[in-house]
Structures are given as structure tokens and as C-alpha cells.
Chain A
């Protein structure tokens, strides 16, 4: 097939053959990867600025200006976490929950709204930073987001509206997921709400373990919900709480900005900065230490069982551990406040250190169960999905202990706010741990969601894999080393004070950017431009499920109203 034909037509992709569920999933996935490219580009710009004004650095002078630099730093995580990661995860889960429960999605229309709201919300937040240079960073430390001496109030209002739209989209996702899980249709026709709740919270796993210890028969041999659905159920609790907190903080900032625009200046000291910090970090940490870890554990379990075709090792323990992970995620936020001297010492010790250390246990358990499940099924073919899964395990194997190290009152005194945190922990967790797990899911779901579309090139997939893995670990490692040398994470360095660390970080970072181009090229050549456009066109097949023989109407079905 010629290059031009591939570029326009793809391999054998036919967007008209997709049903409504497949299309909405692909819309979210494609948008997610476009946002990922933007994030990679932003990351590279910031990395090049930190390389400094040295000869050979091609970065234009305007990026060295603090208002420009920090406006990029503000939207970088918004686009990365919400525009890219949330979209990808939500898109995948809105497909997986109906697929695994063998029920239709509650509402495809709502799923489309979720995709649209998150996309436009992210774009709006980005525009606020691009046009008005609104740059309080994602941390929004009070009273900086309401500081109209440094930032335009209009820019702030646009930014907050953008973030609010993302949160409304998130609420749409949450409603859709729970409405689908609790729908008493199909295989769950005879299940009660209580049975589904017990299974959703993993209580059946705990009861099975207790009965085993007491020598009694299991509470249930066939839990109502599959383990990955349980993880989605559990993680979505944190997604909800986190959205409530972010929206709450947004409303507070919005009120102050609107007051300013109306000519009334409100006293920002009326809000206790430390209390606000606790409230905001409690919610924000439900992303990093809550839903991400729970969703990832669930994804590992799903991928391990799909790749091996076997039952998960220690499934009851895994179910019970997900419950523990949820509880742990509510009590660890103080590790972000170890450097705040006004924070009570007991909270630092218990929440910041001791409960946080539990994450080593819960994530270590997920790693163990996944590895043993894979090991018991050997020999396995080293497929792309297996490769990416192993990459994801490496990522969290590196990033979680890095987090436990820094969540310590001694270490935090010299690591807090340094590049160690954002490099060795955050970027390795996200780029290597999370994204490689998500890529594994993309390769597993590819034939199902695209109706067996042939991938353009496996060689390009391999190139993408190695560039992403080496680039991700390398960039995180050199950022981490710069952090140990004293480089701060939310600081502007324009003279290359932390070279050669930053030069190496930029080299590895550019590998990530190239990896994204390779992946994008592979996808475009597989779908073709016509196919990619077709994904965003209205679908003829309104089916909102996959793989169910007797189709059930979604949303309008009376069973959903129960």
C-alpha cells in the first residue's frame, strides 16, 4: 500500500463499522494523545529554559520571561492530568465497565458530554494561561490564585471556569460508571443493590478470607463484580471526592476574583492559608495517592488476566487490598505538608509518615499479585501489551519507594519542592508507571475497540516503547539528580546552574517527544486521516455495549430507572 493511501485510508480501519460505545471511547483516546503531545512539548520548552541561556540552546528568549515560563508550568499538569490522563482513563473505563459487566453503558450521550466538557475545559484553562498569563500553578496556594496584583482577574475567571468544566465532565463520568454498575439488567438482573455494593467495596473478598480462616465455605464463589470493575468502583469514589474539593477551591477563588472585578476588594487573609492548604491537598492527593494507585492496580489485574488467560493469583486478597488502599488514600495528604511548620507534628507523623508508608504495602501487594499471575502462566509471548505492562511495573517499582523516601520528616527537609519530587517520583510514576500501563491497555483493547484494525507497524510500536521507556526513566533520573544537587521544582533558572543534569534531562525528554511522534504516526497510518475524522462524526450504530448477544437498550430501558 502506498504512503498516501495509508495516510488517507489507513490499513483496514472502517469508522462506519464502529458502534456508539466504540466511537466515544476512541474520541476520548485520540483527544487524550493529542493533549499528551502538547504536554510533552510544554515539558520540553520548560526543560530547555532550565538548560539556560547557553550557546546552542535554540529556545526563543520569550520563554525565559517568568510570566511566560510559569504560565506554561501552570497548564502543564492541567493538560497532562485532566486533558490527557483523565480522558484516556475515562474513555477506557467507559468501555471496560460495560464490556466486563456485559451490560450496556448507562448513557453514551453522557459519555460524549464527559469527553466534550473535559476537552473544552482543558482548552479554556490553557487559553487563560496563554492569553492572560494566569499562573498560580496547579497547587493554587492561597492567596496566590486571588492575587490580582500579579495576575489578571479575567484570566483567573477563565481558568477557573475551565477547571470547573473539567470537574463537571468528571461528575458525568462518575454518574455514568455507577449507573452502569448498579443497573439491574443482563447478568445483574437478579442482583440486589446490596449485593452489588458489597462486591463493589470488596467486602465479599474480605468475607471469603475470613471464612477460609474459619474453615467455612466461601461467602461467594462468583462475586457480583469482576475485580477490575471493583477497582474502577473504588477509584471512582476518590475521583468524586477529589472533584468536589477542586470545584470547592475553584468556587472560592472565583468569588474573590469576581469581587475584584466588581471593584470590591475582599480581604484574602480571611481565609487561613494553612487550613486551605490542608483542604486542597486532601482533595488533590486523592488523585495522586488515591484514584491513580487504585485504577492502576485494577488495570494490572485486568491486563495480567487478559494476557495470561488465567485467573488472578490471590484474588480475594486483591479485592480486600483495594478497600485498604481506598482508606489509606483518605489519610495520607499530610506528606505534602511536612515542610509546613504550622502543621501539627502528630499529623505529620501519623498521616504524613506512617499511613503513607502503607502505600508501599498496598502497591507492593498489587505488584506481587501481578508478577505471580504472569509467572504462573509462563511461557508467555513477549507481546506489546506484556512489554508495556512490565514497563508500567518498573515505573511504579521506582516511583513508589521514591515517594516513601521523601515522605519522611528528615528527608523532606532537603527534598521538598526540589526536582527530586517532580522527577524521580512524579514523572517516573506518570510517564513510565501510569502511561506504560495505559499503553498496555491500549494494545489489549485495540482489536476490540477498532474492530480488528491492523496496526500499521509493529516495528514503530517497538521503537515507541524503547524511546518512551528509556526517555522516561532517563529524564526522571536526571531531574532527580538535579534535585539532590539543590534544584527547586517551581523555580526559574536561566543560567544553566544545574547543567549537565538539565542537558541530559532535556536529551531524554526529547526521546519522549520523539516517541510520541512515532506513536502518533503509527496511529495515523493505521486509521488514516479519513478514519480519524470519521471517529468524530455521528455514528449510525447506536449500540452502547460490546459483545452482548441480546442487545439491551441503555438509559431508556426501564431497568435503569430502578
Chain B
């Protein structure tokens, strides 16, 4: 099992967490009901050490699962040893981006390194699909490197904006996001369900 983009991951997460939330609410409700009953008996006994082992397995297993199913984790950790297919240097100052091009065209499964430099405030760098869902994001701090290596596995046209609050000057008086760059990235060459043709 591998998630090829954030949309798949977030859909899986939505289902998994919803099931968990329904379960924990039901368990406490059932528990509360049985607390008031004299004849309530334990349906099953949870041995303390098994419960602790379950929590440890849950905490550690979650990271092992994501490391093995989310491709950008290992790529991110090892990014300094990976040669990117393309590098885009971007600068930001006074809530304005200095971009390498109006639109960046990326081929499917290309490894792209985005290198962002802030000359004043702390910003964010995030890509979003046309429906508003997030592709990825990172923080952009002044004075330290802010680089992210990303592999695009699905076709699409993505908007870009600052994902970190950098003061009200990011917006017009009416609330329009002045840092949003529409259709900044265009990915082509993937199959309908993702990955290279």
C-alpha cells in the first residue's frame, strides 16, 4: 500500500479517524451507561500490560506505517543526497513572491526542489489543488534554508500561497489573499489514476 498523493492519504485518514472517533465515543457512552447498573459485568477484561503494549504499538506503528506508505517522508529525510530533476529558487519579501516563471511546468514523477528564501518575515509555502485541498506545505523562515523536494505523481494545476500568517498585509482590505499565485504549477504526463503513462 502506497499513497501517491495527499488526496489519497487524506481520504484514508478521514475514514480511519472517523471510525476511531465513533468507536471511542460509543465505548465511553457504553461505559457510562454500565457504571449506573448494579448487574453490569465486564464484556472482556483488558489486561493492563496488553493495554500498554497496544498504546506503544499504536504510537510507534503509526510512524512505521506512514514511513512505508507515504513516499515524501523518506524523500524529505534524504533530500540532501538526492539529485533533483529541476530546482526552482523563489524569494519572498514584503508579502511579494519573486518567482522563476509565471507558471512552472512539471513532468509526471519529476523530482522538483523548491528553494525558498525569505528576506523579512516568517511565511509558508503551500500548493493547493483547484478544489482547495492541500498538495503540500512547509514553513519559510528568514535566515535559514527552506527547501522541499517533491515528486508529482498526478496531473493537475496547482495554486500557491503562503501557509503561515505573516501579518494583515497579506490581504487586501476586502480580505483577498494577495500572496496567492493562481495556476503556479502545472503537472502533465501522468495516467488518469496517477503515475507515469
Contacts and interface: CB of A to CB of B under 8 A. Distances in A.
B76 A409 contact: yes
A66 B66 contact: no
Given A375-B31, A485-B133, A492-B175, A340 B141 contact: yes
Contact of A342 (B6, B55, B128, B146): B146
Interface string B45-56: 000100110011
Interface stretch (B19-27, B102-110, B184-192): B19-27
B167 A375 contact: no
A449 B48 CA distance: 37
B193 interface: no
B124 A273 contact: no
Contacts of B132: 485-487, 497-498
B142 A273 contact: yes
B171 interface: yes
B6 A150 contact: no
Nearest to B176: A494
Nearest to A135: B168
A133 B134 CA distance: 30
A484 B122 contact: no
Contact of B137 (A135, A139, A339): A339
A397 B29 CA distance: 12
A398 interface: yes
Interface residues of B, number: 77
Nearest to B76: A409
B2 to A, nearest CB: 11
Contacts, number: 224
B133 A273 contact: no
Contacts of B32: 382, 386-387, 390
A144 B166 contact: yes
Nearest to A349: B77
Contact of B36 (A150, A353, A378): A378
B58 A360 contact: yes
Contact of B143 (A273, A380, A417): A273
Given A137-B165, A408-B62, A410-B66, A379 B40 contact: yes
A413 interface: yes
Given A273-B141, A341-B139, A404-B62, A142 B35 contact: no
B30 to A, nearest CB: 11
Contact of A494 (B17, B70, B76, B174): B174
Given A273-B122, A486-B134, A405 B171 contact: no
A414 B8 CA distance: 11
B148 interface: yes
Interface of B: 6, 9-10, 13-14, 17, 20-21, 24-25, 28, 31-32, 34-38, 40, 42, 48, 51-52, 55-56, 58-60, 62-63, 66-67, 69-70, 72-73, 76-77, 120-122, 124, 126, 128-129, 131-139, 141-148, 163-177
14 contacts: A66-B171, A273-B122, A277-B122, A357-B63, A378-B36, A379-B35, A381-B36, A390-B32, A397-B28, A401-B20, A408-B63, A413-B6, A414-B134, A497-B132
The 3 closest A-B pairs by CB, nearest first: A357-B59, A342-B144, A410-B70
